[in-house]
């Protein structure tokens, strides 16, 4: 028998309809929709949250491949580094010397050769300190490494992916805080899509999509999680992951390499504060995949671009209860229960003082 669980009362204010009734939201950066079902989960935080006691890690682990002075899986030995340390990935997904052959332009079996390189960035010699736990100067040094990698590899490759996969839940293979860099002579799918969407928005409106979007978010303040003089982090209107955030500068900046010193200082500040809030949410080292999207490198006209980072964390309700992108999401479209506004509100209420340092 068909039964309506929500009465068909007319609610005059449109936003309040969206706060409690199923609806779809459009992501103009990717040209896709997300299904939002707030009626399923209006107050998820009233549920039980398991608190796992902080794991005690040592500052240096002689069995860690990424620690200073240890031997990596390839047999190479890390120097006794202090601060960030970058090395060529021993198992890179892309190679610099792949032989070029003509693209196979078959309708069904299309293929091209690719070239690229991959590196690993150890954030610091400390095996036990993730980004929110590092001192601000430590995060600031990571910001410089991100920009330096894009500067150096961007001279040779169209796209330099700078990202961090954090936590076992994200398939991260090593607890030593680290990120990665993959550079390629092609523009990968996610970036190509954002490029096309931003170009179209500029052509249609004369404005920069994410600059307009962030301006509106700052005015409304509903989804802003944390900000400073130069940066704003929001749970985007079209977020898919429960506590997804989008971090961008207040002014238009094409690439990480274009940031001023003050903006780099501000970036270190906001990354530390945002990730501290994440960790405090479930009192755990909050897993996520994060990465930088800026204008591709090379000659093209990229006036439609705005630099930004995406944080995609999988956790939903506790340190162990995660969201799965399965079923309807794999086969139809992404779906979330809690609204972006509720997620932002929860993150905003948290302290920025890291739970391990209390
Ligand atoms: P994750 O961030 O997904 O854990 O990946 C770590 C990377 O470190 C992975 O790409 C590399 C792996 O190839 N790695 C080395 O280059 N050398 C090692 O000795 C271990 C891991
Ligand atoms: Zn280590």
In this predicted model, what pLDDT tens digit does every residue of 218-255 receive, in sequence order?
A: 999 999 999 999 999 999 999 999 999 999 999 999 99
Higher pLDDT, 169 or 50: 169
Q: How far is CA 103 from the centre of its chain?
A: 32
Residue 15 belongs to what H/E stretch?
Answer: helix 14-20
Please, are residues 226 and 270 in contact by the beta-carbon 8 Å criterion?
yes
> 95, 167, 180, 183: which to mutate for ligand 1, most atoms within 8 A of CB?
180
Question: With DSSP H G I counted as helix, E B as strand and the rest as coil, what are the percentages for the chain, rounded to 5?
Answer: 30, 20, 50
* 63 CB within 6 A, ligand 1: no
pTM: 0.93
> What single DSSP character describes residue 322?
B
In whole angstroms, what is the distance from residue 239 CA to residue 220 CA? 17
Q: What's the 66 CA to ligand 2 centre distance in angstroms?
A: 5
Domains in the chain: boundaries: 20-47+188-357, 85-184
* 318 CB within 6 A, ligand 1: no
Model pLDDT, residue 54: 63
- Worst-scoring range by mean pLDDT, 65-69, 101-105, 230-234, 341-345? 101-105
On whether the 20-47+188-357 domain is CATH 3.30.428.10, my answer is yes
Average pLDDT score over residue span 71-77: 95
In whole angstroms, what is the distance from residue 40 CA to residue 47 CA? 13
Model pLDDT, residue 2: 41
Atom index in ligand 1 nearest the CA of residue 172 equals 4
Q: List, as ranges, residues with CB under 5 A of the ion ligand 2.
A: 61, 64, 66-67, 127, 176
Phi first, then psi, for residue 189 (nearest 5°) are: -45, -55
Q: Which ligand is nearest to the CA of 61?
A: 2
Q: Where are the beta strands (DSSP E) in the chain?
A: 23-27, 32-36, 85-88, 116-122, 159-166, 178-184, 224-227, 231-234, 245-249, 288-293, 308-312, 335-336
Model pLDDT, residue 55: 72
Collapsing DSSP to helix, strand or coil, 315 comes out as: strand
On whether the 85-184 domain is CATH 3.30.428.10, my answer is yes
* pLDDT tens per residue, range 249-279: 999 999 999 999 999 999 999 999 999 999 9
* pLDDT tens per residue, range 157-204: 999 999 999 998 888 889 999 999 999 999 999 999 999 999 999 999
Q: What's the 120 CA to ligand 1 centre distance in angstroms?
A: 7
Average pLDDT score over residue span 270-299: 97
Residue 288: CB atoms within 10 A of its CB come to 24
Model pLDDT, residue 75: 95
178 a catalytic residue: yes
Confidence of residue 1 (pLDDT cuts 50, 70, 90): very low
85-184 has the same fold as 20-47+188-357: yes
In whole angstroms, what is the distance from residue 247 CA to residue 249 CA? 7
Model pLDDT, residue 173: 82
Higher pLDDT, 20 or 93: 93
Q: What's the 147 CA to ligand 2 centre distance in angstroms?
A: 23
In whole angstroms, what is the distance from residue 265 CA to residue 260 CA? 9
Residue 105's contacts (CB-CB under 8 Å, 6 or more residues apart) are none
Confidence of residue 3 (pLDDT cuts 50, 70, 90): very low
**Alpha helical stretches, state H, 206-315:** 209-220, 261-282
């Amino acid at each position: 028998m068909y039964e309506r669980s929500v009465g068909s009362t007319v609610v005059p204010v449109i936003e309040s309809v969206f706060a409690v009734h199923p609806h779809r939201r459009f992501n103009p950066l990717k040209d896709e929709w997300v299904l939002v079902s707030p009626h399923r989960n209006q107050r998820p935080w009233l549920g039980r949250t398991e608190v796992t006691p902080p794991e005690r890690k040592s500052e240096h682990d002689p069995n860690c491949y990424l620690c200073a002075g240890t031997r990596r899986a390839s047999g190479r030995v890390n120097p006794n580094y202090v601060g960030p340390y970058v090395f060529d990935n021993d198992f890179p997904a892309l190679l610099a010397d792949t032989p070029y052959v003509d693209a196979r332009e078959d309708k069904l079996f299309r293929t091209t050769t690719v070239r690229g390189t991959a590196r690993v960035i150890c954030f610091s010699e400390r095996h036990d300190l993730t980004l929110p736990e590092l001192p601000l100067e430590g995060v600031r040094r990571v910001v410089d490494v991100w920009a330096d990698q894009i500067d150096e590899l961007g001279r040779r490759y169209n796209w330099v992916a700078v990202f961090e996969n954090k936590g076992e839940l994200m398939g991260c293979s090593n607890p030593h805080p680290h990120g990665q860099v993959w550079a390629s002579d092609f523009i990968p799918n996610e970036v190509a899509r954002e490029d096309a969407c931003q170009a179209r928005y500029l052509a249609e409106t004369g404005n920069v999509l994410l600059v307009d979007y962030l301006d509106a978010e700052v005015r409304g303040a509903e989804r802003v999680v944390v900000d400073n003089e130069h940066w704003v982090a929001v749970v985007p209107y079209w977020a898919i992951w429960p506590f997804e955030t989008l971090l961008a500068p207040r002014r238009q900046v094409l690439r990480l390499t274009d940031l001023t010193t003050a903006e780099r200082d501000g970036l270190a500040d906001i990354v530390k504060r945002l990730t501290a809030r994440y960790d405090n949410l479930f009192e755990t080292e909050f897993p996520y995949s994060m990465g930088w999207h800026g204008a591709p490198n090379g000659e093209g006209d990229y006036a439609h671009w705005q630099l930004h980072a995406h944080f995609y964390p999988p956790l939903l309700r506790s340190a162990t209860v995660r969201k799965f992108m399965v079923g309807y999401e794999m086969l139809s479209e992404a779906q979330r229960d809690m609204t972006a506004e509720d997620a932002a509100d929860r993150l905003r209420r948290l302290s920025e003082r890291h739970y391990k340092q209390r």
